Amino acid sequence: MHVSLFFLSRGVFVQSYKQYINGKWVNSSSKKTFTSKNPANPKDVLGIFQEGSSSDVALAVAAAQKAFAQWREIPAPRRGDILLRVATLLRAEKKKLGALVTREMGKQYIEGLADIQEAIDVAEYMGSEGRRFFGSTTPSELPQKFCMTVRRPLGVVGLITPWNFPIAIPAWKIMAALICGNTCVLKPSSDTPLCALTYVQLLEKAGIPQGVVNVVTGDGSVVGDALVAHPHVRAISFTGSKDVGAHVLAHAGIKKVGLELGGKNAIIIMDDADLPLAVEGVLWGAFGTTGQRCTAASRVIVHKKVQKQFEHLLLKQVRGLQAGDGMRCNFGPLVNQAALEKTEKYVAIGLQEGATLLFGGKRISNKQGYFHEPTLFTRVHPSMRIAQEEIFGPVLSILTCTDLADAICIANNIEYGLSSALYTQNIRNAFLAIEHLDAGITYINSSTIGAEVHLPFGGVKKTGNGTREAGILGIDEFSEVKTVYIDYSGKLQKAQIDTFVQK
């Protein structure tokens, strides 16, 4: 990665980074830059980055188009070999990269390491997919005729990724796109550009040919919009907010679009649940990554018989969270000032709506970074905004239910449908929840977070538009299915007209 030193202020020098287009590290045509800061200490500037332009996007797409012709012809197992080399390089750099994730995004170090492990896992999974890449065969309705399907790449794909998994989510998208034979233009979040550029540097080291992966950094309204609207981009894969996802869908034109747009996920705790286990799951689901996950548990629907006991146990655990730099503490900052202000806004809304503040509710003013207390609301009505809208911060709403049917009704009464969880010892309740919860993911006796890369990830309703990432369905997102008929009868056979009569 080509970098240069830049004098910022107060005698501090920071590195200036370039974009990656057609196998070269280049400046933006806009000649503008932006900075990335440590959310635990905004005085800690990680670097200066290029403010990409629509011209940069055009150059990146042109490079990807040119590279596509050769990349698609490389046999999928050979493409997989390169992806497996990426996994090896990531494993060797795991601790260093995990610390970078913590410094640039803010999550605690063990979660930063997990971010890298996800990238390793998906590289290994998708690399191995190069030796499967399954189509299907089926009998023909006519004699001496063979039918099958094969997978074909889409072409140039645009990938727009968020900041909360700054290496894992780019890896999810890039690895699936590459094994299918596509070429890519990545637009990473402006909150975590260094993570994305560092990851792509490893792809370069692993042997990805020039032009196959390109990175344009900058503002979503410029770089993202140019990528979405570009006529030579055949597909867009976007992870982010519902409103921006709707914007992407409205402006993408006739191209394949995959959207993962967040959630308002619920953990249901029945009266027969293992309460200490449930509390552990709620603590991790609500306050892991400081609540900044699309799968975060922002609602707990607890049976009224065990509500007081549950709240007592949860409060004890929440009080043990230690806010600070993720390298030393287990409760990190929000990603930026806007996220902090949004969390404060929703705390005020919850109080105005009449919810009872059980714990927290304030920003942590004695810290340099964007810290907010872990916050618990109880006596929350399902119609309250704090129980309906995605906050993406450390705010948990506690609701009560009378039985499983009531809990499922409350859980489903939202516009999202990503993840869900149920704690119970009753196997019947478990299967009823699996059947009736409107969510793409359901956990039994576990939290709402913890996806595995060999299984599909995604949701229903306004969480997305039906696509899934990871697993075999991640291959579906980045490939097209071609149906093939081979007639070796030596004569013209007309399906639905000719009728074969066995002699």
Residues catalogued as catalytic: 260, 294
CB 346 within 8 A of CB 312: no
Angle between helices 168-179 and 109-129 (to 10 degrees): 10
What is the three-class DSSP state of 124? helix
| Spatial separation of the C-alpha atoms in residues 126 and 121, rounded to whole Å | 9
**Residue 22 DSSP symbol:** T
Is the CB of residue 190 less than 8 Å from the CB of residue 217? yes
Pairing mode, strands 183-187 and 297-303: unpaired
H-type alpha helices, 354-449: 404-412, 427-436
Gap between the Cα atoms of 248 and 261, Å rounded: 11
CB 94 within 8 A of CB 113: yes
Q: What is the DSSP string of 355-404?
A: -EEEE--SB-TTSSS--B--EEEES--TTSGGGTS---SSEEEEEEESSH
Whether the CB-CB separation of 215 and 197 falls below 8 Å is answered with yes
Q: Which residues pair with 160 in a beta bridge?
A: 187, 238
SS3 9: strand
| Six-digit token string for 3 | 């970098």
Dump the DSSP string for 128-162: HHTTT---EEEE-SSTTEEEEEEEEE-SEEEEE--
Quick one: 483 exposed, middle or buried, by C-beta within 10 A (0-12, 13-18, 19+)?
exposed
Structure tokens belonging to residue 37:
């800061």
Residue in 165, 138, 164 with CA at minimum distance from that of residue 149: 138
Rounded-to-integer distance, Cα 131 and Cα 4, Å: 41
The answer to whether 300 touches 396, Cβ cutoff 8 Å, is yes
Cα separation, 296 vs 411, whole angstroms: 14
Cα distances from 370 to residues 42, 52, 339, 364, 405, in angstroms, run 8, 27, 8, 8, 39
Please, are residues 363 and 345 in contact by the beta-carbon 8 Å criterion? no
Whole-angstrom Cα distance, residue 268 to residue 282? 10
- Find the angle CA(143)-CA(146)-CA(147) to the nearest 5 degrees: 125
Residues in the chain: 503
